[in-house]
């Protein structure tokens, strides 16, 4: 059983026979409050109220703390109380253990005094916060859906522009590809390896996390840097020293890098010379191929490339097979026009997404503030409005 929602929802769908439950797992029941013992629970404020269960009891990970309210405490109020950032900060200050693995002790939970209103007022606060948080959460979900829709619209525009061009009134011909019906008649359909040089990343030392290889003068980018980049990789968090560089190699600025393991098919452009491991491949376009167009074309072809990926312990893409794929290439001048159009389109979409993300951040902050102020008594449930909830958009 694990936490699955930013809003405190708990997955209780997994069911096992009682005889198969391992000894020592914490038991909890409806109305209990649970949260993880390790550091993230206090950093991100996650926790959960145990919902209606298909059975009286449930079991979960030994990494959970279980708080069970007594007859003087409403379980849902306790849930909101543990979301209080002041309580979380106080708990975080009293964690023990090594950095990154600090834990909240059971002793801290037992010894911490809670300042609670009468049970009847707790229930009034819970009723008000339930309505208000539901409205806020609904607005957050709606804005998240808007973001996903905008991303889908952008990806569709990228596929359309890189496979059909920017105008509709041009003669077309069959592409000869099973994933693309037709292309403008003046375009060429060629193998990717005919339009760019493909170079496998290199980093042969094992174990890869040997500290003797790092903290030098040679930038070392990895698959996570590709995914984090919008288009260009502008910075790096790791570097190789002379020993590390001896088992790797440098790739030029302007190399289009693709992840062939982990985040398979993600692409970005190096904005500086850098080394990278064999979980990445570099593509350097020839003089007839525009780098920015190639970036968008590889984004458009991600699903096509994934068809040849191999699943072992994780999904992997054979870099040789990347080059054997056929793709449509317009004349270089048209490639540049398409890339400029997609740059502008991407900037427009990202601008709207940034606004939506800021709105989500504001709503999330307001939600936390609202809970804090009501569970600590800084604000009281207004009698005249105790049946109302504000709509947040």
pLDDT per position in the chain (393 positions), as tens? 344 344 455 555 555 555 555 565 677 777 788 776 665 455 555 667 777 665 666 766 666 777 788 888 898 898 888 877 777 777 777 767 665 566 666 666 667 777 889 999 999 999 999 999 999 999 999 999 999 999 999 999 999 999 999 999 999 999 999 999 999 999 999 999 999 999 999 997 788 789 999 999 999 999 999 999 999 999 999 999 999 999 999 999 999 999 998 889 999 999 999 999 999 999 999 999 999 999 999 999 999 998 877 666 567 788 888 999 999 999 999 999 999 999 999 999 999 999 999 999 999 999 989 999 999 999 998 765 444 444 555
What is the model's pTM?
A: 0.81
The structural domains of the chain, ordered by start, are 1-116 (3.90.220), 119-168+330-393 (1.10.287), 188-329 (3.90.220.20)
> CA-CA distance, 291 to 80, in Å (whole number)?
52
């Amino acid at each position: 059983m694990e936490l699955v929602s930013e809003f405190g929802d708990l997955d209780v769908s997994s069911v096992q026979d009682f005889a198969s439950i391992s000894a020592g797992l914490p038991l909890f029941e409806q109305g209990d409050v649970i949260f993880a013992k390790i550091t993230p629970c206090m950093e991100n404020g996650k926790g959960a109220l145990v919902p209606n269960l298909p059975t009286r009891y449930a079991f979960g990970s030994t990494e959970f703390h279980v708080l069970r309210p007594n007859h003087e405490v409403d379980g849902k109020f306790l849930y909101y109380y543990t979301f209080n950032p002041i309580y979380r900060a106080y708990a975080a200050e009293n964690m023990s253990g090594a950095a990154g693995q600090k834990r909240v002790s059971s002793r801290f939970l037992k010894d911490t005094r809670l300042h609670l209103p009468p049970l009847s007022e707790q229930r009034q606060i819970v009723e008000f916060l339930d309505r208000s948080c539901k409205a806020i959460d609904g607005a957050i979900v709606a804005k998240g859906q808007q973001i996903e829709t905008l991303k889908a619209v952008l990806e569709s525009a990228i596929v359309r522009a890189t496979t059909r061009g920017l105008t509709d009134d041009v003669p077309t011909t069959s592409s000869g590809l099973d994933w693309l019906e037709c292309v403008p008649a003046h375009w060429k359909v060629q193998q990717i390896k005919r339009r760019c040089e493909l170079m496998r990343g290199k980093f042969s030392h094992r174990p890869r996390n040997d500290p003797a290889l790092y903290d030098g003068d040679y930038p070392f980018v990895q698959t996570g840097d590709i995914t984090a980049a919008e288009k260009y990789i502008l910075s790096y968090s790791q570097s190789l020293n002379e020993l590390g560089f001896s088992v790797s190699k440098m790739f030029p600025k302007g190399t289009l890098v693709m992840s062939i393991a982990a985040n398979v098919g993600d692409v970005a452009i190096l904005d500086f010379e850098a080394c990278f491991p064999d979980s990445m491949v570099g593509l350097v376009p020839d003089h007839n191929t525009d780098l920015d167009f190639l970036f968008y074309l590889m984004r458009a072809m991600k699903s096509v490339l994934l068809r040849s990926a191999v699943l072992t312990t994780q999904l992997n893409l054979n870099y040789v097979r990347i080059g054997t794929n056929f793709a449509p290439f317009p004349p270089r001048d048209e490639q540049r026009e398409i890339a400029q159009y997609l740059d502008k389109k991407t900037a427009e979409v990202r601008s709207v997404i940034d606004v939506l993300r800021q709105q989500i951040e504001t709503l999330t902050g307001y939600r936390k503030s609202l809970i804090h102020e009501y569970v600590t008594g800084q604000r009281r449930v207004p009698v005249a409005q105790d049946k109302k909830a504000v709509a947040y958009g």
